[in-house]
């Protein structure tokens, strides 16, 4: 297997092929390309897909499109495809003879490495071969829009019961699109007068494979492995949830994937963390964490709104074979990622970047002055205060688990929330990042969090991964330097609480602004 590309990223892949485009006169080709580009953009807009969420690039017979995995697949197969068909029918009614457009649209998913002028991807090549090998109807007057799905896309979208997508609309075909002409399974449908259905020219479905993929179970779900007992579904859903091509991260405890389908009651880009065998100590704690965030939304909406925007918190528990195996959470917002131009890669923007000299930050394209550092520290103190109020301690509080964003109002975002101690109980073993251990034997307490908050403050203003000199912080605020010094006390009870830090940080922030714009807003 070829080595993984470190800069490759998961994407929905769409290829548009215009029938007979190359045989048209040059002026007609230019006109049709402009019209097709316009139709595609209008269809995306109608489907609610923003321009920043897709990339269009020209191909010999049409266009290729990459769509971010944050866009729900049903929005592509249901909303975008139907909107594109509407525009094509309107186009063809106006230009019946001279500029008629007949399209084949392929949909797939996979890893891509986009450059400025081209896209490098084995998945794009696979979809190209699949479309070339799939029958698209009579040459004399092909249908306006033929849709070809890869088997992976079909499994993840149509069998997952996405609202408005009917598996029975697609006929199953085996076409010679694999290496050395080996058969590859695809799924095809055609739009006729605005209605989707099986292509009349397509051969019968392969033996043993019904046209309606949901007919095997009667529920639209894929058949389960015969050797594995049926597991409990994630609450509110069942069916395919993740795909290995949508890998977001891989660590010692488990693997994180992008969620590729809707989950009832949740919105926004989602991720799923799948634990390695033996990692999850107590699934009931994880389930209680899920219930907690739901109860918080109902009974304490202000706290919920704050914590939801600052935490990658467990939102649903997932099961395999009847055993808890992971959980659904929100994906890290794009504001908390950065692109390292010198290395040509994207990374999560962890706080450890700011524990370096300013010259290093300038080299990687970052800049954070003392005022922004104060705001980040105040936000972190606020997160800890809110968690402690609800009986939750972070435990492994370190710059590796704290993400940050720098804008008008800098903020923090905590990951690995499943390792937090929830009301005195642990879902996972308590660990500490080397260099960030507390001196006492008891871990994951409010006092240990207070110790590490002071350590973050000292190293953040030292611009160092190790130094704990209070001098740089004292030059900003003597009160903060005194709090940081007390936080390192060997007596846990003597350490200042995060709430004490909040008040002192607010004074330091306001004192450093001659035109303070601080405003308190009454809750509703």
For 244-274, the DSSP string reads GGGEEEE-SSEEEEE--S--TT--S-EEEEE
> Residues 90, 95, 97, 102: is their CA dihedral positive or negative?
negative
Q: List, by residue range, all CATH 3.30.70.1230 domains of the chain.
A: 9-216
In CATH, the architecture of 244-330 is 2-Layer Sandwich (3.30)
- CA 183 and chain centroid, separation: 33
Residue ranges of the chain assigned to CATH 3.30.200: 244-330
CA distances for 188 relative to 105, 140, 214, angstroms: 10, 20, 16
Measured CA distances, 24 to 30, 95, 153 (Å): 10, 14, 32
Task: Report how far residue 510's alpha carbon sits from residue 514's, in angstroms, rounded to the nearest whole number.
Answer: 8
Write out the chain's pLDDT in tens, 524 residues.
344 444 567 789 999 998 877 667 777 778 888 888 999 999 999 999 999 999 998 888 889 999 988 888 888 988 899 999 988 888 887 776 667 788 899 999 888 876 655 566 788 888 988 888 888 765 445 557 899 999 888 877 765 566 777 777 888 888 888 777 788 888 888 887 778 888 776 655 444 444 333 333 333 343 333 333 333 344 444 456 777 777 888 888 889 988 877 777 787 788 999 999 889 999 999 999 999 998 998 888 888 989 999 999 999 998 887 788 899 999 998 889 887 655 556 788 999 999 999 999 988 888 899 999 999 999 999 999 999 999 999 999 999 999 999 987 899 999 999 999 999 999 999 999 999 999 999 999 999 999 999 999 999 999 999 999 999 999 999 999 999 999 999 999 999 999 999 999 999 998 755 344 556 666 65
- What is the CATH T-level fold of the domain 338-509, as seen in this structure? Transferase(Phosphotransferase); domain 1 (1.10.510)
Beta strands in 4-130 (DSSP E): 9-18, 54-59, 62-67, 103-114, 119-120
E-only strand ranges, 19-143: 54-59, 62-67, 103-114, 119-120
Q: Please list the residue range(s) of the chain that carry CATH number 1.10.510.10.
A: 338-509
DSSP 8-state symbol, 222: P
Extended strands (E) in 283-406: 316-320, 323-330, 337-340, 345-348, 392-393, 402-405
Handedness of CA 381, 387, 392, 396 (dihedral sign): negative
What is the CATH number assigned to the segment(s) 9-216? Answer: 3.30.70.1230
């Amino acid at each position: 297997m070829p080595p993984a590309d470190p800069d490759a990223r998961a994407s929905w892949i769409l290829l548009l092929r215009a029938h007979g485009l190359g045989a048209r006169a040059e002026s007609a080709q230019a006109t049709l390309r402009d019209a097709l580009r316009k139709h595609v953009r209008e269809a995306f807009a109608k489907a609610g897909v923003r321009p920043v969420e897709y990339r269009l690039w020209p191909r010999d017979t049409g266009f290729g499109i990459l769509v971010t995995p944050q866009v729900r697949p049903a929005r592509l197969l249901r909303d975008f495809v139907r909107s594109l068909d509407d525009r094509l029918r309107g186009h063809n009614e106006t230009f019946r003879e001279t500029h008629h457009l007949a399209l084949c649209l392929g949909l797939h998913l996979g890893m891509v490495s986009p450059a400025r002028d081209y896209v490098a991807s084995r998945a794009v090549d696979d979809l190209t071969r699949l479309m070339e090998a799939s029958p698209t109807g009579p040459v004399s007057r092909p249908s306006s829009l033929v849709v070809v799905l890869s088997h992976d896309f079909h499994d993840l979208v149509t069998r997952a019961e996405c609202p408005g997508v009917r598996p029975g609309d697609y006929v199953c075909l085996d076409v010679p699109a694999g290496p050395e002409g080996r058969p590859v399974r695809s799924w095809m449908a055609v739009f006729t007068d605005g209605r989707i259905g099986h292509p009349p020219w397509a051969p019968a479905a392969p033996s043993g494979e019904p046209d309606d993929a949901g007919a095997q179970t009667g529920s639209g779900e894929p058949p389960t492995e015969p050797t594995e007992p049926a597991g409990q579904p994630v609450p509110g859903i069942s069916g395919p949830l993740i795909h290995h091509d949508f890998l977001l991260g891989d660590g010692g405890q488990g693997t994180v994937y992008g969620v590729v389908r809707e989950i009832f009651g949740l919105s926004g880009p989602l991720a799923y963390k799948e634990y390695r065998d033996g990692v999850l100590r107590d699934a009931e704690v994880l389930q209680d964490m899920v219930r907690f965030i739901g109860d918080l939304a109902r009974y304490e909406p202000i706290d919920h709104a704050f914590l939801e925007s600052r935490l990658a918190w467990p939102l649903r528990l997932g099961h395999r074979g009847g055993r808890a195996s992971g959980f659904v959470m929100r994906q890290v917002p794009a504001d908390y990622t950065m692109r390292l131009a010198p290395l040509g890669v994207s990374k999560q923007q962890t706080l450890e970047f700011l524990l370096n000299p300013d010259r290093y930050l300038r080299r990687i394209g970052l800049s954070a002055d003392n005022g922004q550092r104060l705001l980040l520290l105040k936000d972190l103190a606020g997160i800890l205060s809110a968690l402690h109020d609800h009986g939750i301690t972070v435990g492994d509080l370190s710059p590796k688990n704290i993400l940050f964003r720098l804008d008008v109002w800098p903020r923090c975002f905590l990951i690995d929330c499943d390792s937090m101690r929830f009301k005195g109980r642990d879902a996972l073993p308590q660990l500490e990042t080397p260099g960030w251990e507390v001196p006492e034997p008891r871990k994951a307490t409010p006092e240990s969090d207070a110790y590490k908050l002071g350590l973050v403050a000292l190293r953040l203003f030292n611009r160092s991964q190790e130094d704990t000199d209070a001098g740089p912080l004292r030059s900003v605020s003597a009160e903060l330097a005194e709090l940081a010094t007390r936080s390192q006390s060997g007596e846990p009870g003597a350490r200042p609480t995060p709430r004490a830090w909040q008040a002192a940080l607010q004074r330091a922030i306001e004192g450093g602004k001659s035109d303070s714009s601080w405003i308190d807003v009454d809750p509703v």
